[in-house]
Structure 1
């Protein structure tokens, strides 16, 4: 049973072998890359749950990879490093990386971190999806309210009658109320 898909971009072969072994042992599908551009392309085109990379990946700065993954809401990133830097904490606070680990991390610690990152990533995607849905609902509501105002003014009717007009017209024309409201606003507010 596959637990999730992990992209691995590690240049230290000893660390890569250890991480790959742990991922496969725990049922994760792994995809390995040595080059940043190919890693980003794969992350964009596949359903990826986690990226584990180090600072030495070729062809793309690690910070740019992390920024791209974060901006496009692809998945969490775990950064493997030989020397932790002070700015890694800033990256975590900004959401750019889930966490960073030293190259010689114990497999039990890495396993906990991987599972935590995947849980965090799924929750984050779910919350962001919910936020987008709520924003759309609010925007649609504002559009409908504005269209109702235009109808009330033109037809000299109540708010309830304006809404009934919108609802009946949308059913008659087989368009959503939101699209009808947008069309009314576009037609009468130029």
Structure 2
């Protein structure tokens, strides 16, 4: 079996004891029945089964699913595009089982947000460990993303404050410290964050030209 992680044949994942609501995409009714049974045996519920990923985003938006599982013999670009849309609007752990793969498919799976990509490895007793790992990887990725977003936001705010200070220094012929103290006083007087005041100052000077 190939994938984004390895699971030994005798590995038994400790159950998270969480009943999950799952969206299942699989055009093969017999295979999806087996997978549904494996999920139900672990206390999970398939709240939506789809033959294709065409309406996957709508189903994801309308339901409170915890995990998306896609079972595709050979995933195409449409599948990856629909998974990408999910990650842009309402991200959640994604597991993909496939019969065949190549480097291009693997790359597309990673870019579309698939957390566990399993090639030729669909077995009932392995479904739960795979879901557990996918959920762990998803949480780790989301934590890193949140940290990156926070860092970018801090950098953006710092740039706004620096720009506002520069404008005040230039227009009022004051020092950098005086410009900062001016922003700080305005923020305190208006009970606002200093970055909000800085953005107001920038907008005001831009209007004045």
**TM tier relative to shorter chain:** 0.7 to 0.9
| Higher RCO structure, 1 or 2 (CA under 8 Å, sep 6+) | 2
**Residues 64 and 20 of structure 1, relative CA distance in 2, 3 Å threshold:** same
Q: Secondary structure at the match of 1:33?
A: strand
**Residues 105 and 14 of structure 1, relative CA distance in 2, 3 Å threshold:** same
Structure 2 equivalent of residue 91 of structure 1:
108
Aligned mates of 1:163, 1:188 — CA distance in 2: 16
Stretches of structure 1 that go unaligned for 5 or more consecutive residues are none
Relative to the length of structure 1, the TM-score reads 0.82
Answer yes or no: is 1:183 the counterpart of 2:200.
Answer: yes
Relative to the length of structure 2, the TM-score reads 0.75
Structure 2 equivalent of residue 100 of structure 1:
118
**Residues 64 and 37 of structure 1, relative CA distance in 2, 3 Å threshold:** same
Structure 2 equivalent of residue 44 of structure 1:
61
Q: Summarize the alignment of residues 60-79 of structure 1 with structure 2, pairs less than 5 Å apart.
A: 61-72=78-89, 74-79=91-96
Q: Secondary structure at the match of 2:96?
A: strand
Q: Is the 8 A contact 1:10 1:16 kept in 2?
A: yes
Aligned mates of 1:68, 1:44 — CA distance in 2: 11
Aligned mates of 2:168, 2:181 — CA distance in 1: 11
Structure 2 equivalent of residue 166 of structure 1:
183
Structure 2 equivalent of residue 113 of structure 1:
130
Aligned mates of 1:45, 1:157 — CA distance in 2: 56
Residue 21 of structure 1: how far off its partner (Å): 2.3
Aligned mates of 1:128, 1:46 — CA distance in 2: 24
Q: Is the 8 A contact 2:66 2:93 kept in 1?
A: yes
Stretches of structure 2 that go unaligned for 5 or more consecutive residues are 1-16
Answer yes or no: is 1:9 the counterpart of 2:37.
Answer: no
Q: How many residues were matched structurally? A: 185
**Residues 46 and 125 of structure 1, relative CA distance in 2, 3 Å threshold:** farther
